[in-house]
Amino acid sequence: MGPTLRRIMQSVNPISFACWYSGFEYFQVLQDYFDTIADVDKLVYNLFHNAGGIYDTVTDLVELFRYGDSGERAFWQKIGNSAGYLLKSISYKPKNFDPYNGKK
């Protein structure tokens, strides 16, 4: 094997492993989202536990839609960040979730 081909193979291995691992992580997070959305107790817990951040994000989105310029890149970045935060706040698996008996 030539030195150029060896360097190519050495650089491709970490890249392919990183892509595989990040795809696996996305699948795990997506599965957690669906599990939380399917469980009404966790969903309500997240809504009340993260109500302040959800309210702030929704008011920022309303202000952005009313006064923002859709021709700017920052407009779309703020929409994406806000939508991602809302999705995470509402449907991410809550830490130490057991609101009925107080055990962690």
| Eight-class DSSP state of 9 | H
Q: Does residue 100 lie in a domain region?
A: no
Expressed as residue numbers, the domain containing 85 is 3-91
Residues whose CB falls within 8 Å of the CB of residue 97, separated by 6 or more in sequence, listed in order: 42, 45
The count of structural domains within the chain is 1
Q: Does residue 63 lie in a domain region?
A: yes
Q: Does residue 45 lie in a domain region?
A: yes
Q: Does residue 103 lie in a domain region?
A: no
Q: Where are the alpha helices (DSSP H) in 1-104?
A: 3-38, 40-49, 51-67, 73-91
The two tokens of residue 70 are 């859709």
Q: What is the pTM for the complete model shown?
A: 0.67
Q: Does residue 77 lie in a domain region?
A: yes
Q: Does residue 42 lie in a domain region?
A: yes
Q: Does residue 96 lie in a domain region?
A: no
Report mean pLDDT in 10-residue bins for the chain, 104 residues.
74 73 84 87 88 95 92 92 93 74 53
Q: Does residue 102 lie in a domain region?
A: no
